[in-house]
Amino acid sequence: MRQSRIAACTSALLFAAACTVAGPTAGPTTARAAPHTAATDYVALGDSYSAGVGAGDYLSSSADCQRSGRSYAALWTAAHAPSSFSFTACNGARTSDVMALQLGPLTPRTDLVSITVGGSDAGFGTVMTTCVLRGTTTCLSALADARATMDGPLPGNLDRLYSAITRRAPAAHVVVLGYPRLYQLHGTCRAGFPDTVRSALNDAADHLNRVIAKRAADHGFTFADVRTAFTGHEICSPNPWLRSIHLLAPTESYHPTASGQSLGYLPVLAAVARGTTQEGR
């Protein structure tokens, strides 16, 4: 897999004294799926947030996908010991990449599927490069273009992916995890974007999660909102669970830290996956 488009923008960010984000953010109220019967066969799909980019402890076998042993998927597996675990999430993945490269492990016996995807489709990497290098007016215009993508091709792309997951794993409990807000407004950052821009970025990311949540609900999937879990731990907060610019590892910039995976994402996944068991199979 190619490197994340977020990573591409962070290379430019290294030359700018900006405190910015490149990931999408939080969303609407969690749409609960019907109760399901702890998983025996678990498949973890998705993008860099699913892979655990930013958390470190990358698996040598994952190469550029940068799958982490500290990702929420790996941590859930360590705690629940499913009989099988397939981890195909990859840094930079769009919905089309998940469709083409990640669905192989899904079978009719798959009990649990987790996925975070949509940020790369929305072009947040390009947005952030624009915002850092070209100023507020052009940044806001780029955000408007990203929202048009969210309301245009993204819902159809998600529909095709979600339908493919259902065809391959019709009995699975599918958990679609969203994205946290990455900025705390009026926070501790002393440089970078003004709060007006940070607020606009948060709003665009919230819109992305609303789109994702609606498509998940329409397919009978569970949308797991991580916004509350991350509140007070965004970039510019006193105790962030998200990376700002990481000079030594630019690909990790604007991704959850190990704490963000273990204290932010993991409890949300554990709560909604609790009802998935092998009973009755």
- For the question of residue 173 being annotated catalytic, the response is no
Q: 253, 5 in Cβ contact below 8 A?
A: no
Of these residues, 36, 173, 207, 255, which one is catalytic?
255
The label of the residue with tokens 């969203």 reads 178
The residues that bridge with 43 in the sheet, in sequence order, are 86, 113
Report d(CA 263, CA 241) in Å as an integer. Answer: 8
Report d(CA 26, CA 204) in Å as an integer. Answer: 10
- For the question of residue 255 being annotated catalytic, the response is yes
Of these residues, 48, 62, 86, 244, which one is catalytic?
48
Ordered strands of the 41-46 beta sheet: 84-87, 41-46, 112-116, 173-177, 222-224
Using alpha carbons, select from 212, 263, 254 the residue that is nearest to residue 235.
254
Phi-psi region of 52 (alpha: psi -120 to 50; beta: other; left: phi over 0): left
Structure tokens at 187: 């926070």
Catalytic residues: 48, 255
